[in-house]
Structure formats: structure tokens, C-alpha cells
Amino acid sequence: MQTQSRHHGKTKESQSPQGSSGKSEFRGNSAAEQAILDSLRSREFNRYAPTAGLLQTTRAIAEYLSCDLPYQLSSDDVFITSGCTQAIDVPVSLLVRPGANILLPRPGFPVYELSTAFRQVEVRHYDLLPEEPLWKRIHLPSFGEETVKRLGIVVIADEVYGHLAFVANPFVFGSIVPVLTLGLLSKRRIIPGWRLGWLVTNDPCGTFRKPKVVERMNKYFDILGGPASFIQAAVPSILEQTDEVFFKKTINILRHTSDICCKEIKDIPCISRPHKPQGSMVMIVQ
């Protein structure tokens, strides 16, 4: 989505992050709006939140994400961020070391490229093939434990579009390979401007604790500015009270608009091979 602003009499256009705009048929749900109102009117959250996030918020997110895992996350595994863009920058900043590199999909979300460029991290790419789902190409359990230890592999799992799939694909979790899961409140609930995201350490083997990655992460969050306290405080109610009817309606709209987009793109001469997406709000064409 493009936005415009005026500066010194000139019009400036910028590209907003992927997501729905206020002028679309997507609308946020009333449960989220009510949770924000209740949080504000309570007057209990005009104070600063802890730098890693309010305890009630991190605990609620841990319980929410644990539903998809074979083990239980704790509130200590969760760090609240200002949107997912901040969540992307944290691991890139903390895990970088001389000679390190990061493997990124191509095409991919450009913030990863920007963040790694600022940190002077070498980027290596793997090409996304529209006809071949990503989860079939990268099978995490196939990495042996010794290989993981030798190479120091850490997976950054960007789950921004979690639960927005039209088809059932397997959810990959970290059993041997430590996984940093990035997510946010907005995409599934159509509230991108609220800027509440999270970074979660999925680390049942304790890999992150030995080199004190979690300790360093806690210290790094002391210099970051997270979401407003009243928005964080509303998260437990939003996660608990948003009903399945709203989610199903959103999926149906996405599926319908995806069908329309694929159909119309086929009539554009300069674009070929439109691949119908299996979820999210974007599609790959050539």
C-alpha cells in the first residue's frame, strides 16, 4: 500500500508494510476494539511497561503459541516488539559475528535485506519456486544434531501470516534446531496500524541459554521502545475473545480476492505464471 506525505511543498510516496488498508473490505473486529477501550478506561496502563513486555501479555502469547507446539512456552520465552519489523532486527543485531551469514528467500520481505545491510551481514539466497511449497524444500528435522552444533544453525521463523492459510500445511517447530519465531497481532485480526509484534525463543534443548543469548536479548530490549502499554494490556482479551467466525470470514475474503487476482492477472500480457497463493495477502508472478 502506498502512502503520501508532504514535506517542504513536495509530495513524498512511501511503501507501507504488507497488510490491509482502511479503505478495503477488511475490517478489524469489535472484540479487539472493546479490549483497547477497556484497557484505556481502566487508567491502569498509563505507565511504562517492562522493556520485554507486560507479564500478562507475554504469558498470554506464550499460551496462545503453545497450542501449536508439543511443549509449553513460558512468559520468559516471549519478547514484545513494535510490530514485526523490530522483531526482525533484534536477532540480526544480536546473532551477528565476523564471518556470519544469513540465508534468505528470494523474493522475500525487503526489511531482512535492509537490516542485514546495516549490520554488514553476508546474505545468501535460495530461490522460491511458485510450484513448490517452501516447507517441502527445507525440512528442519533432517538436520542432524551434530551438524546443527557444528554450523551453529539458528532458524528465524517469520509467522506473520500464521493461521492465514487456505490449505493445511504442516507447522514446523524447533526440536533440535533452535527457532526464533516472529509474529504479530495485526494480520490475522486486520489491525496493522496497532504495531504489536513478538519474538519468541523456541528452544527446548536450551541452546540459546548456553551462550547467554536470552540474557543479551533482555539487555538489548532495554534500549528498544515497545508498543504502548495500553495496547499490550489488551492482548490477553483480544487473543481470548476474538471468535472463529471473524477468522473464517477473513480467510474467505482472502481466498475470494486471491481467485479474482489470479484470474485477472492472466489477462495481462506482460505478466506470466501467476501462482495461486496458499495463504497470506501476496502472490508470486513472473
For residue 49, tell me if it sits in a domain. Answer: yes
Residue 13 inside a domain? The answer is no
Q: Output the pLDDT for position 170.
A: 56
Which domain does 196 fall in, by range? 30-241
Q: 222 with 197: CB under 8 angstroms?
A: no
Closest CA to 237 of 65, 36, 28, 55: 36
Quick one: 44 exposed, middle or buried, by C-beta within 10 A (0-12, 13-18, 19+)?
exposed
Q: What is the CATH number of the domain that holds 39?
A: 3.40.640.10
Q: Please give the radius of gyration of the chain, using alpha carbons only, rounded to the nearest integer.
A: 20
* Alpha carbons 133 and 281: distance in angstroms, whole number: 16
pLDDT at position 79 is: 96
On whether residue 4 sits in a domain, the answer given is: no
Distance of CA 128 to the CA centre of its chain: 19
Q: Is 271 helix (H, G, I), strand (E, B) or coil?
A: coil
First to last CA, the chain: 20
The half-sphere exposure of 72 on its side-chain side, counting CA atoms within 13 A, is 5
* 21 occurs within a structural domain: no
Give all strands (DSSP E) within the chain, no chain letters: 2-7, 10-15, 78-82, 101-106, 122-127, 155-158, 179-184, 196-202
- Does residue 87 sit within a domain? yes
In a domain, 23, yes or no: no
Helix, strand or coil for residue 207? coil
* CA–CA dist 77, 272 (Å, integer): 43
Residue 3 has what pLDDT?
46
Cα–Cα–Cα angle for 208, 214, 215, rounded to 5 degrees: 130
Residue 144's pLDDT is what? 54
- What three-state secondary structure class fits 161? coil
- Of 74, 143, 71, residue with least CA distance to 103: 143
Evaluate whether residue 47 is within a structural domain: yes
Q: How far is CA 207 from CA 99, 124, 177, 188, in A?
A: 20, 24, 9, 31
Q: Identify the pLDDT of residue 276.
A: 76
> How far, in Å, CA of 223 to CA of 220, rounded?
6
| Helices and strands of the chain, counted as H and E runs | 10, 8
The mean pLDDT values, 10 residues at a time, for the chain of 286 residues are 48 48 61 92 94 95 89 92 92 82 88 91 83 53 59 82 73 67 86 89 78 85 90 94 87 86 84 74 76
Q: Model's pTM, two decimal places? A: 0.81
Quick one: pLDDT at residue 16? 47
- H, E, C per residue of 216-231: HHHHHHCCCCCCCHHH
Residue 271 lies in a domain: no
How many domains does the chain divide into? Answer: 1
Q: Give residue for cell 545468501.
A: 124
